[in-house]
Structure 1
């Protein structure tokens, strides 16, 4: 079979060849270490793929931003990116997004006690047993203003 007799190369074959070459501005990386490294979380990107945040990167961010619960903030980033698909980041810009988010959170300067995720609070029924707490008065005040004298 001569070259002319061969069927034309399909587009998918040429795309596979092109996709294996790094894009301009992309950071060089060792693919073998990426495959072996566990992902802390996956963040959606603007090209409908996901960026697997390496656990080592998350650990390094935790050292750089000691006042931040990095895993909690990575989960918050994922939620924000899922809720704002038009504002998703590119593969080359996702690390800047992560570090900017963590720096902003670090600058808020919350004490460690306030960063505890989802602290359990007492329910209304548990508080109702406390004689110093009048749930009806509180609800009237909340619903109708400081006077609480509605009805």
Structure 2
């Protein structure tokens, strides 16, 4: 097991990629706390049943508050809306990234909302399967 790298990691979206990240974060002990946010109550309930996080909320801004690392794992077209929602709650010095499959559109949507002092590092998972949802994730994805 590696040393804990983050006090709090927030996962905004908990489908295939988000749930896979939750599993590897837990397995490797990369955070003391994993906060999970998703708007769907049924998905949120399932994520909790699977033990993917330490806290669960339908409000993304609650999940990202005090997070050292925020991973946005939502459909690309929702990236800007999510960035606008979470921006006021992002702490200075936090790392903000995404797992969208495109970069130019995600950057164009998210960058205008990123507060000064937050490190926005667009990402790309280069991973996936034909399955979706929190049950589809696995730590080795």
| Larger strand proportion of the pair | 2
**TM-score of the aligned structures, taking structure 2 as reference length:** 0.21
**TM-score of the aligned structures, taking structure 1 as reference length:** 0.20
**Which one has the largest radius of gyration?**
1
Give the structure, 1 or 2, with the largest relative contact order (CA under 8 Å, sep 6 or more): 2
